[in-house]
Structure 1
Amino acid sequence: MGGTVRWGVLATGGIAERFTADLRSMPDAEVVAVASRTEASAKAFADRFGISRAYGEWAALVADEDVDVIYVATPHHAHRAAAGLALEAGKAVLCEKALTLNAREAEELVTLARDRGLFLMEAMWMYCNPLIRRAAELVRDGAIGEIRTVQADFGLAGPFAPDHRLRDPAVGGGALLDLGVYPVSFAQLLLGEPDSVQAHALLSPEGVDLNTGMLLGWASGASALLSCSIVADTPLTASVTGSEGRIDFPRGFFFPERFTLLRNGQEPREYVNEDDPHSLRHEAAEVMRCLRAGETESPLVPLDGSLAVMRTLDAVRDRIGVRYPSELAVTPA
């Protein structure tokens, strides 16, 4: 695939607006169609962003022959259905994180994509950020020695009303899938899938997690202390400490403007992001690079890594006693 990559946007919420706005700033990307569950919502979105086609059903979007790749921006509970529909139609897919509600659904999507030889990527934009990539490279190269601890948090003060989607178990509400996926993904980028998972949470009357603490452990002796919350404004920082130094990310670690490398016995060194840290362009560029190269998986956001994160999130929910309504009728394997 060469030239302009033509995007279809599935859903019209806030994250879809941000991603579409960033795509419009990229000369090699074009948003040619949008779909929502209602034609009115799709048309309003299309009018706002100058998109030529607006569909009131997902099936029409995935059947559009002028669309090269579908960006799935629905709430978590609809990721499996929306991304699966697009893959069944032969479309490449970028699907918002967390990839699905649970590891079982994620396995189904990954199997479908691999069986059909189609591109699929979780929209973990943090992994595509140049500073996150640089920090991970430093860790891999031994800049701080053997990893001993990782700390990361993501919390919002709220309050969120009981009818807000973050409080709704039917759509995968709670802190974990929306916010906790970032600290977990950060730790697993550096250490891989943990060997042990412990967790504690405050649950809402609706049965979603409001405040969750996680302790992940690895056979190497490394550990990660992570937290997420929709009832507390946490620092939003991250640190990785090794036997020979430390890397610190200030507030907003998942869209960093800078980080500091502190090596034992040496002066601190600061790394600065030269681009807009809030931009989603990096993940869009990675998708388009993969499509042009004929790659069906991104080395920056590998599917096996997304599956491993989903298994950890499942383990956390098992420890804190959270299950979503759609899972209650499914007997665990």
Structure 2
Amino acid sequence: MMKWGILGPGSIAHHFAEALQKEGESILAVGARNKEKGQAFAEKFDIPRVYEGFQGVLDDSEVDVVYIATPHAFHYETIIEALKHGKHVLAEKAITVNSKQLDEITALAAEKQLIVAEAMTIYHMPIYKELQQLVDAGKIGDIQTLSVNFNSIKENDPKNRFFNPDLAGGALLDIGVYALAFVRMFIQEEPSEVISTVTKHETGVDQQAGIILKNKKGQLATITLSFMVESPERATVMGTKGFIDMEKFSRAQHATVCYVEQGKTETIEAGETEKALQYEVKAMKELIEKDVPHVTLPYTKDVMKIMDQLRKQWEISFSFE
């Protein structure tokens, strides 16, 4: 059994700790900048070791793997330190802020023979394995077009993580990473053309955007992101023989498949939305148990490159980059 350390006891960390316990994993330590929050978190989940700050967890020789749940502005430095201390790492999305950071992490993980993975639900939900098999079998023909909408109203507070540039705020790095991961999973190769438009918040970060992606095979994707409106979280994959339609795609457990040629519709179900974080835990355990040097970033590098291009187009950068 692996011994986990949790860095940053925020709301997502509470859900992840529950997932760890349901999977029978051992949570040995928690690190928190606020000692009181760390103590409360430890009491709730019966965690024996509480450290003020993160260094204590990283120095703890009995911790095998760390889960990083801090704002993504701090992921790079924390992941680097964790790897230097010999820890496997599972970090929340977005795993880093830019490609340069990710490349450095990838190189260090390979050198240390450690696992680094992004806690991206789309990569681990069972429904996506079913859909990939369906696509690979040619059931909906050749994929031509994808459409993704991900919109969520956020409190208009310049200091919160959604709009604060010091915390790498903006819709792209928060919810856009899901939309881009979805697209990259279904297209055959990374986009060669990236076209976009953006509306910025008063703090300078992106608050909504329209994005068009196209690769050299002619596959086209359109993405709408917004922190200003609410709408169904929906994604559609369109092929020459049919299409796949998904709601709440980031943690989906079912999808509707329309076979145009046959004029019929099928509902495919796999996995459970409520177990989304448990699937991440299982995937991380499997990677570590393989006992081989491996950095599991299936499409993350491509997604990060796209986000770099978009922020360059929008002239959005962060002071700490």
Is TM more than 0.5 here? yes
In structure 2, give the amino acid aligned to 1:142.
G
Out of 286, 296, 311, which is 2:305 matched to?
311
In structure 2, give the amino acid aligned to 1:308.
D
In structure 1, give the amino acid aligned to 2:169.
G
Distance, in Å, in 2 between the alignment partners of 1:244 and 1:221 is 17
Out of 282, 286, 296, which is 1:285 matched to?
282
Contact 1:290 1:296 in 2 (8 A): no
Output one character per residue of 1:137-179: Cα deviation in whole Å (capped at 9) or x when no partner.
2222322111110111211123332221101011110101010
Specify the alignment match of 2:190 in structure 1.
193
Contact 2:178 2:250 in 1 (8 A): yes
Distance, in Å, in 2 between the alignment partners of 1:254 and 1:115 is 32
Contact 2:102 2:301 in 1 (8 A): yes
In structure 1, give the amino acid aligned to 2:2.
V
Out of 16, 20, 30, which is 1:19 matched to?
16
Out of 261, 267, 272, which is 2:269 matched to?
272
Specify the alignment match of 1:321 in structure 2.
315
Specify the alignment match of 1:330 in structure 2.
none
TM-score by structure 1 length? 0.92
Secondary structure at the aligned position of 1:21 is classed as helix
In structure 1, give the amino acid aligned to 2:277.
L
Output one character per residue of 1:306-331: Cα deviation in whole Å (capped at 9) or x when no partner.
1111001111111122111213xxxx
- Identity across the alignment (%): 31
The runs of 5 or more residues in structure 1 that have no matched partner are 328-333
In structure 1, give the amino acid aligned to 2:316.
V
- 2:104 is the counterpart of 1:108: yes
- 2:64 is the counterpart of 1:68: yes
Distance, in Å, in 2 between the alignment partners of 1:205 and 1:138 is 44
- 2:168 is the counterpart of 1:172: yes
Output one character per residue of 1:276-324: Cα deviation in whole Å (capped at 9) or x when no partner.
44530001101001111214436xxx42521111001111111122111
- 2:227 is the counterpart of 1:230: yes
- 2:147 is the counterpart of 1:151: yes
Secondary structure at the aligned position of 1:207 is classed as coil
Secondary structure at the aligned position of 2:249 is classed as coil
Secondary structure at the aligned position of 1:100 is classed as coil
Distance, in Å, in 2 between the alignment partners of 1:116 and 1:139 is 36
Distance, in Å, in 2 between the alignment partners of 1:10 and 1:61 is 8
Q: Judge which range, 273-282 or 57-66, deviates more.
A: 273-282
TM-score by structure 2 length? 0.96
Runs ≥4 residues deviating over 4 A: none
Residue 153 and residue 277 in structure 1: after superposition, are their counterparts in 2 closer, same or farther (change >3 A)?
A: farther
CA RMSD across the alignment: 1.4
Contact 1:256 1:277 in 2 (8 A): no
Distance, in Å, in 2 between the alignment partners of 1:292 and 1:113 is 16
In structure 2, give the amino acid aligned to 1:16.
A
The runs of 5 or more residues in structure 2 that have no matched partner are none
Distance, in Å, in 1 between the alignment partners of 2:8 and 2:36 is 12
